[in-house]
Structure 1
Amino acid sequence: MIHYRNKREATLLQRSTERLDIDLLVLPETNLILVASVIEPLRGANRIAGSELYRWRLLTPDGAPIPTTSHIAIPADGTFRVTSEETPLFVLASYNWRKSATPALKMQLSQAARYRTMIAGIESGTWLLAEASLLDGQPATVHWEDYEDFATAYPEVQAVRDRFVVDGKRLTTSGSLPTVDLMLEVIRQRQGYSLALEVSRLFRYEQPSFHVDEPLFAASAGLRMQDPRVTQAVRLMEEHIEQPLVLTRLARRIGVSARHLQDLFQQSIGAPPHVHYLALRLNTARRKVIETTASFADIAAATGFNSASAFARSYRASFSESPSQTRHRLRRRIMPSAPPT
């Protein structure tokens, strides 16, 4: 489950074409995978978009490389200090967070909260925010193993069993994979469903069985499709990109009503069928725009659009630029420099 309250106040989750900078305060004995769960979806979004949508900076309490539980130190970009910066601050912690919860650090977090547009507790970082009294009277989540202890230790905080919680200027997550879910949600809210879907493909897939003859559909990677009927519907969508199935026909082939299929999609992946279907087609089209020299009319036809103009309108609405702008911008970046004369 995902918990939202006062979502409109969360500038992190608003549609924007501006670059988003994030500061990560990483505490000792943090897992590598927890750091990666924040950074890698953002890196993937930058790579797929071909532009710097996100930039991050790793800070530590003393500016020194941070030791992790994997015995691999992470270099720091600087020391965490209280400034008037409004950049969102993510506090990352895994094990033995109490060693870092010094009066000085708690005071720094409390002072930083006056300026930061968002402060996030990532996994055990939630405990640090609670210690600094930054979660009083608000819902918050922690790792499932710590839920009872957290609820007992901080009765002034509304402990909830959700994957992540967004409440105004506070955000908490319950572990590494929920943090990936959070970052995908940030990308979806800021850049749209299509880009978030493409980023999710970089990280995980759901394979229905171990039979070698079972096809792997990469386009649906990263989705938590709890209902096999949704999985079947997504596969049918992927098989019918050039000639999209109308919702009623798609539902009939699954064996449910169109209304019920809409409900299943909303419950399973948080988006209606038409939104997911359009994202699949647009992502396929975008890859063709970047990787081929096909005309936009041919790409439109190959991805189920009635005309090049209809394709261009939908493409711009999703990616905030035209197909020609994407092709020119990204190809300019990968063109080799002319040899010296």
Structure 2
Amino acid sequence: MVRRTVMVAITLALVAAAFVLLCVNIGRGEFAVPIPTVVDILFGGGTKVQRFIVMDLRLPRGLTALLTGIALGISGAITQSILRNPLASPDLLGVTAGASAAAVTLIVVGGGGTFVGALALLGIPLAALAGAVVTALAIYALAWRGGVQGYRVVLIGIGANAMLVAAIQWMLISADINDVARAQVWLNGSLNGSDWAQVWPVAIGVAVVGTLALVSSFTLGALRLGDDNARALGVRLQSGQGVLLLAAVALAGIATAAVGPIGFVALAAPQVAMRILRTPGPPILASGLVGAVLVLGSDVIGRTVLPVELPVGIVTSALGGPFLIYLLVRNNRKVSA
């Protein structure tokens, strides 16, 4: 009972931290807005000018960062739990690279930026989501040998990621310089230009798929115990794995389609959440909240702390690289022991 109370308290603290960072993100800029004023505006107060700055100009960017962080955190938690490998995440397994390859192809070959009407808005995001799903299905098929094993998926995913990154680089080298510039902005994972039309699809996707992941928490917990124990608990192994992996890929694809690839959040968020809550496996809800904190915090650092403004994807990669090294060293010590 005490342990559950502590976990609830920590989860609520993560919710509060995400909300505070959202307010900080909204309040920072050329026209600074104090955090109490931001909170007042969010609940209907403030002047007309303040409401325009907060609600129309800055809130869509903050919500996009919040939602993509939640999506990546939950996606990483599902992937690491099913494959039982702390190094398993969509960006290392090639899923994010598949989304990026599809988007870059549309930009440099199909002229994604020249579509009119609805296609101008939905062309690149839908291409990125389709690329993520197709890549994940290919990796799953290649890793299948009467079942799916974690290390086999990781190895095949790393190989697929390398090939897709090489394909992206080849397209960038051979494409028109204007298309390359547009693709590079997208590939760095930028929140610039986020608006309400971009927020709603992400919000709906995260709400639907995230709810499915939370409902499947028991199945995910059973899968962490191994295939035999999961079957003994009444879990349909292959269908359970398939549905949850599809949810993880969908969340990663939605996040990547919205803002471009944001590295290492899906890798780090579940591990940080697991250590904070001291759970045997990555917790779904807490992982999403930690992901939101990481993306919001990185956006604040990239926009206001550094001498020049940097896309959020560059900041998360700079922070996540050392964490990946830490996980590799830690796993190596476990194997040696």
Name the TM tier (shorter chain): under 0.3
Looking at secondary structure, tell me which structure has more strand per residue: 1
Q: Which has the higher contact order (CA 8 A, sep 6+)?
A: 2
Q: TM-score, normalised by structure 1?
A: 0.25
Q: TM-score, normalised by structure 2?
A: 0.25
Structure with bigger gyration radius = 1
Looking at secondary structure, tell me which structure has more helix per residue: 2
